[in-house]
Amino acid sequence: MITVSGVTKGFAGRTLFKDVDCSFAPGRNYALTGPNGSGKSTFMRILIGDEDTDKGHVNRPKRTGWLRQDHAVFDHLDAVSAVISGNESLWKALVERDALLSRDDLSDEEGERLGELEMIVAEEDGYEAETHAAVLLTGLGVPDANFRRKLSELQGGEKVRVLVARALFGKPDALLLDEPTNHLDMDSIQWLEEFLVRYQGVLVVISHDRRFLNSVADHVADIDFETIITYVGNYDEMVRTKAEARTRSEKDVSERDKKISQLQEFVSRFAAGTRASQTRARQKQIEKLRPDEIRRSNIARPFIRFPAGEPSGRDVLGVRDLACRYGERAVFEGFHADVLRGDRVAILGRNGVGKTSLLNRLLDPAESDAKRVRWGHNTRIGVFGHDHRDQIAKGTTVYQWLFDQRPEVGEQNVRAILGRMLFSGTDGGKPTTTLSGGEAARLVLCKQILLEPNVLILDEPTDHLDLESISALRECIEKYEGTMFYVTHDRDLAAAANRIWAYADDGHLVDFAGDLDAWLAWHEKHWKATGT
């Protein structure tokens, strides 16, 4: 059980949550939700004990596993050691024991201490620790060759897998996971889902992967109105419950407004007449009926639609025998594909396999590839790059930067696009250098809406977007009348594609004509079974 008692926390004069009292019970899986900037990671750090409260306190189980967004803390450890360090008492005992064993001579007191440490190691199942760590690492897709490499030497995706394994190690009574699916491929996410569904302790998880939350969570702790409101069910059920509650509130307010209007009409007609007592009575009724302001829900979804403008030709892209190498390593080779107008191509694979390299090769083919990459007639390409923040000029404002992309459309149209993407009127004057990750992502999406390309290339577009923005983007992909290529690890987004380009571990790049479900079935039957 994790209990939160009277917790208050604020930053720079802004209250994130105030006098929060809630509990997280064992056997339940909680999604911690709220829009970007609402304080999810701050609240998670308070639960972990890494962040002080302004007021109040938290009680947590002694054995609590956690994954935070600061991934550099364990860079000095190899992968197996980093995982074992997830059991703090075992790890301290192992470190002290090994230090004593490294000495040539031990005093009687040190010998007794060594015996005590061996008992702790035995009680914590320390003699099987490396085996258990290896099982977790294998399940999360970390190759055996990396088990003894330091985390500082691993790529970002593999480091995250190791840290997820660290959080899961030692059968903790509580698990606190901040964005555990970041940088995980679909196989690893599925393994993690299955593990967490079976987990019997207290789970609190933050994720922007809607399908992951719907699969894992049976309760939602939502940061709203400066407190934590707990709902039974998964994320989608919470959204429906909030929408129904708001609908009821709006109906109640409408009925009260109607009643107030009737009473006000009576008071206006007879205030100066002989019915003074009746008008006073009705005035009191009006005061009692005055509705409180309906509080705005923290669930805000942008309206994303990419107009395709003038259509391209039928044949959008032809690729013949395309290859990419880094030194001796083949990123991919011998790749062939024909993409038609209206295709939605999801590009899948582990981090570091070369998905961005493929996009770069398509966008800017080398001279030797001029005949291997052919864009079709009247293709106008819009790009949301992996480093999308670099696309936004500094030294200007949100409105001015967007207006400068296509000034001929006029101020009104530019401000309308900003409004649909959740930039208020005052947000237009915000300096571009102060934008959060989510705001920067939405602003670059605004640019693509404004320019109306008929081919869109999106590299990890869900990075920094909140759940509702990702849902809106998925709907937009389905409705887009142009041709789209997008790199993603988000299964909900990948499910909107009608073609899959996916990487094998041997440098082979597959062009699969079908949707995600068909691809996963084919992958399970053919690729995993045969390794081809």
* pLDDT given for residue 300 in this prediction: 74
What is the C-alpha radius of gyration for the chain, rounded to an integer number of angstroms?
A: 28
Residue 467 has pLDDT above 60, yes or no: yes
- Quick one: average pLDDT of 179-199? 81
State the burial class of residue 411 (Cβ atoms within 10 Å of its Cβ: 0-12, 13-18, 19+): exposed
Write out 376-401 in H/E/C secondary structure: CCCCCEEEECCCHHHHCCCCCEHHHH
Sheet of strand 315-326, all strands in order from the earlier edge strand to the far edge: 329-340, 315-326, 373-375
Q: Are 199 and 176 in contact (CB under 8 A)?
A: no
CATH of domain 2-237: 3.40.50.300
Cα separation values, 275 from 46, 270, 283, 289, 402, Å:
60, 6, 12, 21, 61
* pLDDT given for residue 189 in this prediction: 82
* Per-residue model confidence as pLDDT tens digits over 302-335: 899 999 889 999 999 999 988 887 767 777 788 8
Residue 23 has pLDDT above 90, yes or no: yes
* pLDDT given for residue 505 in this prediction: 56
Cα separation values, 532 from 293, 325, 336, 504, 529, Å:
61, 20, 16, 8, 8
- Work out whether the CA dihedral 233, 520, 208, 49 comes out positive or negative: positive
Residue 532 has pLDDT above 50, yes or no: no
In whole angstroms, what is the distance from residue 253 CA to residue 292 CA?
Answer: 9
Least Cα distance to 472 among 417, 421, 413, 516 occurs for: 421
Percent of the chain predicted with pLDDT > 70: 88
Model confidence band, residue 174 (pLDDT cutoffs 50, 70, 90): very high
* Per-residue model confidence as pLDDT tens digits over 495-504: 999 999 988 6
**Cα 377 → chain centroid:** 37
* pLDDT given for residue 531 in this prediction: 47
Structurally, at CATH architecture level, domain 315-393+434-530 sits in 3-Layer(aba) Sandwich (3.40)
Give every CB contact of residue 153 below 8 A, 6+ residues apart in sequence. none
Please, what is the average pLDDT of the chain? 85
Three-class secondary structure of residue 236 per DSSP:
helix
Q: Which two tokens stand for residue 486?
A: 């997008």
* Per-residue model confidence as pLDDT tens digits over 395-444: 999 999 999 999 999 999 999 999 999 898 888 999 998 888 888 999 99
* pLDDT given for residue 311 in this prediction: 93
Residue 239 has pLDDT above 90, yes or no: no
* Per-residue model confidence as pLDDT tens digits over 371-391: 889 999 999 999 998 877 888
CB-facing half-sphere around the CA of 169: CA atoms within 13 A: 35
**Cα 402 → chain centroid:** 26
Helix axes 437-451, 398-405, angle to 10 degrees: 30
Least Cα distance to 303 among 386, 405, 416, 456 occurs for: 416
In whole angstroms, what is the distance from residue 132 CA to residue 127 CA?
Answer: 10
**Cα 188 → chain centroid:** 15
